Structure 1
């Protein structure tokens, strides 16, 4: 049946790829955008997307935008994993209060179903390399990563909305690579390895997945996911050493770098600042990010494979696809 489908965070990495996939179907696709939003991510498909002005931090704009909508993909979010506490208020406003606003507006508008795009940081991290599943008890409070806290709280808001009658499914994408990452989210590591700004690597690991797999699985979650359930969308669980090695292999960058335990990160950063060397090293090398990267964000995606038919592929494919897209777009 023909549906009216709206995507929040539509100009972001996952949101924009979601819009691109949705417009190839039979539904009317609406993109929630702000006045200041760049529409570059809609290049070539603007004639098939209906733009709706609004902001997740503005409840009134959502009430108007959600009128008559059948389905909502809530992918809006603020991704910041540095240690600058001045950004805490923005993280709360967009990720927590913004999600609450979305769920409230969806309930009021009588939207039939919402898919909330969360994060693996809302699940937790493994201290023993054992992949975690959806039932794991959140433990990022041990690291005090504000971003993870806000994603965890947003899921709590989703569950409260479910209890009030909202049909909502949660998806938890892992470390997402692929075409369309114009802001270099996960792709920052590709850029920095390629440009020789990653002389060290942390001792943890991460689950890597391609954005197209995330998008396809998210759409399947809308179609067949169970209300109130969460689904991890991950892929290869690999160490940062392996990931950097793959990127070096794909890009032709130098593979020479050395392991850096977390206890050495702070004195090394201090030394780099004293020697005015900081700008020559990746922005990812900050204490907050390095603390997270020293743990293992390894995940078990078997539930999404079983219930949503999630596909999988070697992480090398995604790294190569992302790198080639950056080169084609002149971003590298």
Structure 2
């Protein structure tokens, strides 16, 4: 039986990969977009999907979009690692999710998959990878993005209590082809262009966008109601990640470790520096503070229950780099 599916965040990196996969099925796929949305990332599947207009921050705009929908993939969200957009982060990530859950319940949607983030799970303070059972501890480094992703999951938990069938997925640091806005891909571009002469002392969990998208679809099919699933892969230090990027792109190796206390001093000096474009945009204190910790995760549950694949992080870095290179996007 064909299902009617609605996807939010369809123009984003994960969302666009997800929509391309859903468009290959017999299901009827609608995507929630604003009138001014940039649909570039979906240009090859626009003929297979239905555009419905609305905005997750505007509750009244969602009822028409939800009419007759069976399944919702909610991947819309604002990813911003700083403290200048706190109100907007809350409005989109928390209130937007609440609006989607309320509209889905009102439309009697059969199932709702919420695409969250590993920042809503926690930090591996002792470098031991954490799993879904960890108590959220990101508040210890004060990142508003993480707080809003955590609060969005609180909204989902409440919706489950109220009777909506929801599953949560928590993608790790996602690389791969199609990252037109240079989300994770910024680090590849900046090392390639010699804009990142140092590396932070933490580490991250790397996963490919194709693996994440397949696992999200699998979560819709066989995830357990009210459960969350970490969608991750290999845990690597930033030094290992930088070495891999240098090896694959042919860029010089990044050899200078930069502790967080030293980064703060360097940032103050660089703020006086006229030609700021020579240093990576990734070098802001919120992002560098997070990167000085270990975001190491155990994805065994998703592998066990969602049949999520695993591959070494080099595959994903290579996929992303070759995609950028073939489109001359690294200049």
TM-score, reference length from structure 2: 0.98
Deviation string 1:34-54 (CA, Å, 9 cap, x unpaired) is: 011011011211110111111
Structure 2 residue aligned with 1:25: 25
Structure 2 residue aligned with 1:231: 229
The answer to whether the 8 A contact 1:208-1:235 is kept is yes
Aligned-CA RMSD value: 0.8
Does 2:222 align with 1:218? no
Does 2:40 align with 1:40? yes
State the SS of the aligned residue for 2:205.
strand
Distance 1:104 1:58 in 2: 12
Distance 1:83 1:150 in 2: 12
Unaligned ranges ≥5, structure 1: none
The answer to whether the 8 A contact 1:198-1:257 is kept is no
Structure 2 residue aligned with 1:160: 158
Deviation string 1:77-124 (CA, Å, 9 cap, x unpaired) is: 00000232xx11110010000000000000000000000000000001
Structure 1 residue aligned with 2:91: 93
The answer to whether the 8 A contact 2:243-2:254 is kept is no
Distance 1:300 1:53 in 2: 38
Match of 1:194 among 184, 192, 199: 192
Distance 1:116 1:248 in 2: 35
Distance 1:250 1:192 in 2: 14
Structure 2 residue aligned with 1:240: 238
CA shift, 1:257, in A, is 2.8
Structure 2 residue aligned with 1:170: 168
State the SS of the aligned residue for 1:296.
coil
Query: Which 10-residue stretch deviates more, 311-320 or 276-285?
Result: 276-285
Distance 1:330 1:62 in 2: 38
CA shift, 1:226, in A, is 0.3
State the SS of the aligned residue for 2:123.
coil
Q: Number of residue pairs matched?
A: 330
Distance 1:25 1:191 in 2: 34
The answer to whether the 8 A contact 2:199-2:254 is kept is no
Match of 2:255 among 254, 257, 279: 257
Structure 1 residue aligned with 2:111: 113
CA shift, 1:278, in A, is 2.7
TM-score, reference length from structure 1: 0.98
Deviation string 1:52-79 (CA, Å, 9 cap, x unpaired) is: 1111001111111011000000000000
Distance 1:146 1:122 in 2: 11
Structure 1 residue aligned with 2:120: 122
Structure 2 residue aligned with 1:142: 140
Query: Which 10-residue stretch deviates more, 36-45 or 232-241?
Result: 36-45
The answer to whether the 8 A contact 1:99-1:154 is kept is yes
CA shift, 1:179, in A, is 1.1
Distance 1:275 1:189 in 2: 22
Structure 2 residue aligned with 1:56: 56
1:294-309 matches, within 5 Å, as 294-309=292-307
Unaligned ranges ≥5, structure 2: none
State the SS of the aligned residue for 2:180.
coil
